[in-house]
Amino acid sequence: MNRQQELDAMRRMLRIRRFEEAAMDIVRKGQGIAGSVHLCIGQEATVVGACLALRDDDFMVGYHRSHGHPIAKGARLGPLMAELMGRSTGICHGKGGSMHLADFRVGSLGETAIVGAGIPQAAGAAYAARIRGTDQVALSFFGDGGANIGAFHEGLNLAAAWRLGVVFVCENNLYAMSTALSDTMAADSIAARATAYRMPGVSVDGQDVAAVYESVAAAVDRARSGGGPTLIEARTYRYRDHAEYGGMELGHRAIEELEQWRTRDPLDLLRARLLAGGTDERVLDEMAAAVAEEVREAVRFARRSPQPEPAALFEDLWATPVEAAR
């Protein structure tokens, strides 16, 4: 990564961190977000490093822990926060909420609460690009839990058999909800599974945004040139619980483990890298202040936005010609 890319990465990582901290505060205070939110705090380097390797017109599919992915792809914060609050100005008109964000303008095809469901969707997006004759690449994010379901194997197998332009990025944060990876997998490497599908499998430090960027960029170049898919396993860690429920904690991890991972916070690592490379500390402080104001404005935008009208329930629906004629 060059210096400008590093600064861009820092800005996007800060946006994700501050956005999710604001969402967490709203949930815990019961001030406008219904249900729970699944936060990726701690995993920002994987999210941003991967998305920075894409073009604006490339596709990205998230999963249930995916506020950060559309932010990393360039989506605006105001409509994202409004969507979390169920407002009509939300990115999906208030109908999707925290786990179903989508922004086609930046290539974010959507997210789903169904674990691993985005894997075959990314393969489909890559196949659609082939039919249209474009060189767009599709990137699918999923967690380590998603690597143990049928859609993972089906999606990788199809992408490999048809040599589709897909990059599969597993955010391995060591826990599927509250279940440790060692309790559900006989092997200790998800990347090693790529061998079965004759595609490259890469394991990378998910706390190092530059390492993630370089690995994904190589995979994107391979996909765009017709070389087929790649599986990348980013070893990372989420600092918060599986989800914020307004106070409930699962308590499934040792405090010592959490604190050890906090010593390699991705924002701290990138800040140190920038300072060591000669970036003025004031530049980073001003960036942090500007991002904090962006997030505050996003919250203000969401709060002053209206709820959807009841009639909007019947908009944005798909129907067959027969049903539409009734």
Of the two residues 112 and 60, the one the predictor is more confident about is 60
User: Tell me, what's the pLDDT at 313?
Assistant: 85
Does 125 have pLDDT greater than 80? Answer: yes
User: Tell me, what's the pLDDT at 319?
Assistant: 64
In this structure, are residues 275 and 284 in contact, taking their beta carbons and an 8 Å threshold?
yes
Of the two residues 315 and 50, the one the predictor is more confident about is 50
User: Tell me, what's the pLDDT at 316?
Assistant: 82
Does 263 have pLDDT greater than 60? Answer: yes
User: Tell me, what's the pLDDT at 191?
Assistant: 97
Collapsed DSSP state (helix, strand, coil) of residue 224: helix
Q: 199: closest CA among 227, 226, 173?
A: 227
Q: Is the pTM of this model over 0.75?
A: yes
User: Tell me, what's the pLDDT at 247?
Assistant: 52
Q: How many CA atoms lie within 13 A of 23 on its CB side?
A: 35
Question: What proportion of the chain, given as a percentage, has pLDDT over 90?
Answer: 83
**Torsion (CA) 230, 235, 238, 241 in degrees, nearest 10:** 90
Average pLDDT over residues 19-34: 93
Q: pLDDT by residue (tens digit) across 37-62? A: 999 999 999 999 999 999 999 999 99
Does 172 have pLDDT greater than 70? Answer: yes
Structure tokens at 195: 């061998």
Collect all residues with Cβ–Cβ distance below 8 Å to 124 and sequence separation of at least 6.
Answer: none
| Largest pairwise CA distance in the chain | 67
User: Tell me, what's the pLDDT at 206?
Assistant: 98
Average pLDDT over residues 119-134: 97
How would residue 246 be classed by pLDDT, with cut points 50, 70 and 90? Answer: low
Does 324 have pLDDT greater than 60? Answer: no
Q: pLDDT by residue (tens digit) across 134-168? A: 999 999 999 999 999 999 999 999 999 999 999 99
User: Tell me, what's the pLDDT at 93?
Assistant: 94
Q: pLDDT by residue (tens digit) across 69-91? A: 999 999 999 999 999 999 999 99
The whole-chain average pLDDT of the chain stands at 93
**Torsion (CA) 240, 99, 65, 219 in degrees, nearest 10:** -170
Does 216 have pLDDT greater than 70? Answer: yes
How would residue 317 be classed by pLDDT, with cut points 50, 70 and 90? Answer: confident
User: Tell me, what's the pLDDT at 35?
Assistant: 85
Lowest mean pLDDT among 9-13, 73-77, 119-123, 244-248: 244-248
